[in-house]
Each structure stands twice: as structure tokens, then as C-alpha cells.
Amino acid sequence: MKKIYNLLFLILVFSLISSCLSTKSFDEPKEFSEDIKTSKLDELKPHELNRNGGKEEQLSQTQRQRQTAQLKPPQIQKKRQEERYQEELQRKQRQRQRQEERLQEERLQELQRQRQELQRQQRRQRQIYKLQRNPEEILSSYRLGKGDLISIKVFGEKDFSVKTHLSKEGAISYPFLGELSFAGKTVSQVEKLITRGLKGDYLMNPKVTVTVLEYRQLFVNGEVKNPGGFAFVPGMTVNKAISLAGGFTESASREEIFIISDGNKTGTPLPADLKTYVGPGDILIVKEYQKFFVDGEVRKPGSYVFVPGITVKKAISVAGGFTDRASREEIFIIHKGEEETKSSPINLHSSITPGDIITVKEYKKIFVTGEVKNPGSYDYIAGLTVKKAISIAGGFSVRASRDDIFIVHKGEEETKIPVNLHTEVEPGDIVTVKEYKKIFVNGEVQKPGSYDYIPELTVEKAISIAGGFTQFGSARWSKILILRDGDKTEPVPVSLNTPVHPGDIITVEESIF
């Protein structure tokens, strides 16, 4: 009986001791939570950790204060987010306002160009109309000049009838009257001149008839295959004259044909079309086709044939379209005769004029990828650093490694350059933040926290790196769990030989005995 009482007494004492230890263990979650924060385990929920007892080493007061100071109050973070949001909103409003002002200016410029083009076409039509002479009018108003072969006949008087070429000075030697100048005179004027000279002294009532047997040449110059002088035939058109010259060259413009008429005292070229009649001595000029130029970030930069009414969008399409690096918001145009410094941004629906140079700029974007909160492309600003670029992309993610940041410069897709937060970023750069190479060990270990990952690491080795088990942990009786980032669910039980991956969270629960 005495042995039974002693046994009951020992059981009672053991129960009291266990009760005291259990009470003490419930005071530890706050410290454990602080340790989780310092290990960047904000995503680990409290119920996922073993809070049913266990004892970890106490953090010093100085260390706890340092950890607390590193944490940003939610109110400050929220305020900064609101400030950034307001700044971004204001920036977008200013950008939208500038775009509207630019569009308004472009509309006015487009209307002005359309009016100028309409006026040009109207002037051209009026000038062409002036040249619409019929063959009879051309010959009746034709003025003789050097090279013309003429026939002079006096009715009933063979001695006064001659056939001769006009000299370089446009003169001939005529019987009895000597040298006569016919340059610049029409056939009817020459007939009157000879009649006055013969009448009275030589003949009583002479009847003089002057005929042009061979007209002087006309000339076809410019974009034809065989430019030069050609014999004039009455009734000849521009189309016939160009055919005599071998036809158009590949770069000839069929809408840019001009005539310097022999009877035009000012010598001003006047526009003509293929049906316009030409006269002796006329100079026909075929211009090169009107061009526009597209360069910059297009697939086929170069010069192209201008077509009235063509837009910037169509011009870029003719040039092969945009490249992958083209900025559709930075398209500039330099009008013919303007300096390069006067180039102005335009939209895709603006019309262009002959000689325009369209330049498509490269986009001014940067890319932030990897372990940031909002990966993507962002506008480049002068003086942008890696730190600022990551901040624009929402900052580092929980899994970001601040020691593994790389930049790939434009045109160097295969070259990754390690950088620091103060490195400046250039347009087109790709900033990549790598995932950290850490593991986390928590629970019943001597030194819970984060540790560098090493190849072929196992759970047993990770616990050893963390100082080994506490007195409440056991390789045999403790449940060991791993939360893996790829799982995103619940921690799973593992053995000591289980391989550990970067980012794994190992939790050692309290021993069941």
C-alpha cells in the first residue's frame, strides 16, 4: 500500500511540473512572430507554425529593437502609396493635356496643308489649260528661227521663188532684196515683209506665199531614256514626243511634265499632260517622280513614290511597317525645305507632302522583370537608376535577392551585366531581379532564421546549420514540415534526408515526448 501512495505522489508532482512548463510555452508566440518577421516570413500564417509549446532562445533587447525599427508602419506605407498614386495621376493628366494640344495643332497644320495642296492643284489646272492649243493655232502662231527650212513662192515669178534654211541668226539672202531677218516672225509677217520689198521697184502686185517645209527640232530632256532633239511633226503631242525619246525611265513622274514653249518670252516652265500638243522649238522636261522618305524604326527605310493623299500610316506601311523597337508615339516629320531642327511630332492620320522625311523614333522604355511586384515596361526618364526603376515597378517582391540584379542593354541580348542599385538605366534596358537563394529554418532549432542555400542540401544538414534541435525538438519524435513556394498550400511532412530547394521554409515542431 505504501508503494502505491508513493507512486501517486510522484504522478502528482510530475503533473504540476508539466503544467508549469505548458504555461510558460504560451508566452512565446510574440517572440516567435518577431523572429518570423525578421526572417521575411510575412506570408507564413500563424496557424502554420507550431505554437503549442516549445522554447526558443530569447532575443536580446537590442536585437528586438533593431528588428522593430526596420519594420515600416502600415500607415506610412499606405500614405506613400497614395502619394505615388497622386503623382502618377497628375503625370498622366499632364501627358493627356499635351497630347490633346498636339493633336489640335496637327489638325490645324493638316487643314493648312490641304488648302495649300488644293491651291497648287488649281494653279496647275489653270496653267495646263493655257497650253491646250490645237495644232492649227500652234502653226499659225509659230515664229521662225534658226534651222527652219522655208519655201518662198511669188506667183508667176520663178526668179523670186526660193527654198532655203534660216541661218543661225534667223536670216536668209533673198534675190534683189539682199539679207532679210525672219527670226521671231510668223509666216504671215514674212509674207508681208517680202511683198513690201518687191512691190513698186520690182513687181507691180506680187502675190507671195511662204511655207515652212521643215520645222526646227523640239527637245525632250529629263527622265526619258534617250533625251535630245527630235524632228517636229505637226499635230505632235507630249506622249508622241516622249515615245521618240525612248519613253519614260523607271524614276520618271508622269504627273511632273513641263514645257518651255518657244513662244513663251519669260521662259517659265508650264505644266503639261500627255495629251498636250507641242510645237517646234519647245523644250519638254520630264521630272523625276515625287518622293517621300521614311527612316528610323521601320523595316524597310528608304525613298518611295509620293501619291497624293497618302497618310503617315500608309507611308510607314509602304516602308514595311514598324520594327519591334519602334515608338508609335514618337513619329516626326521634316517638310521639304525645312531644317532638321524644325521637325515636329505627328499622328498616323496626318497627310504628307512630296519631299517629306518621316522619322520613327525608337521607344524610350525600360523593362523590369523578375522578382518585383509589378514586372513590365515603363517610360524612361533621364537619370533613371536601377533603384528608381525597381521602385516604379512596385519594389522588390518577398523573394527578391538584392544582390542578384542584372541589366541587359539594347542590342546585347546575350550579355547580362551585374549592377547595383545606383547604376543608371538606359532606354531599352532590361532590368532583372533574381530570386534569392535562401532557406528558412524555424521552430525547435537553436538558431531559427534564414541561411544561404548550398547545393545538395538536405533537411538534416539545414537543421544542423541552424544549430541543431532544441531540448524540445527531436530527430526521432519531432514532426518536420516544409512549405515550398511552388506549392502555395500547406506545409508537408518530410524526412531528414529530403532535399531542400531555395526558398524552402523548414519548420521543426515540438517533440511528442
Q: Give the per-residue pLDDT at 353.
A: 86
Q: Per DSSP, what are the bridge partners of residue 153? A: 209
Strands 438-443, 505-508: pairing is parallel
Q: What is the pLDDT of residue 366?
A: 86
pLDDT greater than 50 at residue 58: no
The answer to whether 365 and 343 are in contact (CB under 8 A) is no
Q: What angle do CA 445, 446, 448 make, to 5 degrees?
A: 65
The confidence band for 210, taking pLDDT boundaries of 50, 70 and 90, is very high
Rounded Cα distance, 294 and 359, in Å: 6
Greater model confidence, 325 or 266 = 325
Greatest CA separation found in the chain? 186
Please state, in angstroms and rounded to a whole number, the distance separating the CA atoms of residues 36 and 493: 20
Number of H-type helices and E-type strands within the chain: 10, 25
pLDDT in tens, 449-473: 888 888 888 999 999 999 999 988 8
Q: What is the pLDDT of residue 299?
A: 92
The band of 474, judged by pLDDT with boundaries at 50, 70 and 90, is confident
CA distances from 26 to 20, 39, 401 (A): 11, 21, 35
pLDDT in the model for residue 75: 56
pTM, rounded to two decimals: 0.44
CB within 8 A of 83, min separation 6: which ones? none
Q: What is the dihedral of CA 226, 227, 231, 234, to 10 degrees?
A: 100
Tell me the mean pLDDT in the region 225-246: 93
Residue 438 has pLDDT above 50, yes or no: yes
Pick from 62-66, 81-85, 339-343, 418-422: least confident: 62-66
- Determine the pLDDT at residue 35: 44
Q: Does domain 27-71+438-508 have CATH number 3.10.560.10?
A: yes
**Residue 511 phi, psi (nearest 5):** -60, 145
Q: Kindly state the average pLDDT of the residues 217-229.
A: 94
Range 154-165 burial, b when 16+ CB lie within 10 A, else e:
beeeeebeeeee
Q: How many beta carbons lie within 10 A of that of residue 230, not counting itself?
A: 19
Q: Provide mean pLDDT across the span 415-433.
A: 82
Average pLDDT, integer, range 250-256: 83
> What CATH code would you report for 216-288?
3.10.560.10
What share of the chain has pLDDT > 90, as a percent? Answer: 21
Lateral strand order in the sheet of 480-483: 449-452, 438-443, 505-508, 480-483, 492-493
Q: Point out the least confidently predicted range of 81-85, 184-188, 346-350.
A: 81-85
Q: What is the mean pLDDT of the chain?
A: 78
Cα–Cα distance for residue pair 283/407, rounded to 1 Å: 65
Q: Which three cell numbers stand for residue 217?
A: 527640232
Q: What is the mean pLDDT of residues 230-253?
A: 91
So what's the pLDDT on residue 64? 45
384 Cβ neighbours under 8 A, 6+ residues apart = 366, 424, 425
Per residue in 91-150, pLDDT (tens digit) is 777 877 877 777 777 666 666 766 776 667 666 666 665 566 778 888 888 888 888 899
Which residues of the chain form CATH 3.10.560.10?
27-71+438-508, 216-288, 291-362, 365-435
Instruction: Kindly report the number of other CB atoms within 10 A of residue 3's CB atom.
Output: 7
Q: What pLDDT score does 229 carry?
A: 93
> What is the C-alpha to C-alpha distance for residues 12 and 261, in angstroms, rounded to an integer?
132
Query: Which CATH number among 3.30.1950.10, 1.10.10.410, 3.30.230.70, 3.30.870.10 corresponds to the domain 143-214?
Result: 3.30.1950.10
Question: How far apart, in whole angstroms, are the C-alpha atoms of residue 451 and residue 101?
Answer: 57
**Distance (Å, whole) CA 318 – CA 315:** 5
Q: Are 504 and 399 in contact (CB under 8 A)?
A: no
The average pLDDT across 345-369 equals 84
Spatial distance between the Cα atoms of 504 and 485, rounded to a whole number of angstroms: 7
What is 291-362's CATH superfamily?
Outer membrane lipoprotein wza domain like (3.10.560.10)
Question: How confident is the model at residue 286, as a pLDDT?
Answer: 94
Rounded to whole angstroms, how far apart are CA atoms 271 and 130? 10
For residue 151, what pLDDT is reported?
Answer: 92
CA-wise closest residue to 52 among 467, 511, 450: 511
pLDDT tens-digit readout, 13-52:
666 666 655 444 434 444 434 443 444 434 444 444 444 4
- Output 376 or 398, whichever has higher pLDDT: 376
Report whether 261 contacts 284 (CB < 8 A).
no
pLDDT at 495 over 80: yes
Query: Residue 29: its pLDDT value, please?
Result: 40
User: Residue 2 has what pLDDT?
Assistant: 54
**pLDDT over 50 (residue 432):** yes
Domain with CATH 3.30.1950.10 in the chain: 143-214
Helix, strand and coil content of the chain, in percent to the nearest 5, comes to: 30, 30, 40
pLDDT tens for residues 161-209? 899 999 988 899 998 888 899 988 989 999 999 998 888 888 888 999 9
What is the average pLDDT across 384-401?
A: 87
pLDDT of residue 455: 81
pLDDT for the residue 127: 61
Q: To the nearest whole percent, how much of the chain has pLDDT over 70? A: 73
CB 165 within 8 A of CB 234: no
Residue 159, CA distances (Å) to 153, 162, 192, 205, 417 in order: 9, 8, 18, 15, 103
- Closest-CA residue to 300 (of 320, 315, 286): 320
What's the CATH code, domain 365-435?
A: 3.10.560.10
**H-helix or E-strand spanning residue 225:** none
Residue 294 has pLDDT above 60, yes or no: yes
Amino acid sitting at position 61? Q
Strand 283-288 relative to strand 218-222, pairing: parallel
Query: d(Cα 426, Cα 39) in Å, to the nearest integer?
Result: 34
Report the alpha-carbon distance of residue 2 to residue 142 in Å, rounded.
156
C-alpha cell at 384: 533613371
The β-bridge relationship of strands 480-483 and 492-493 is antiparallel
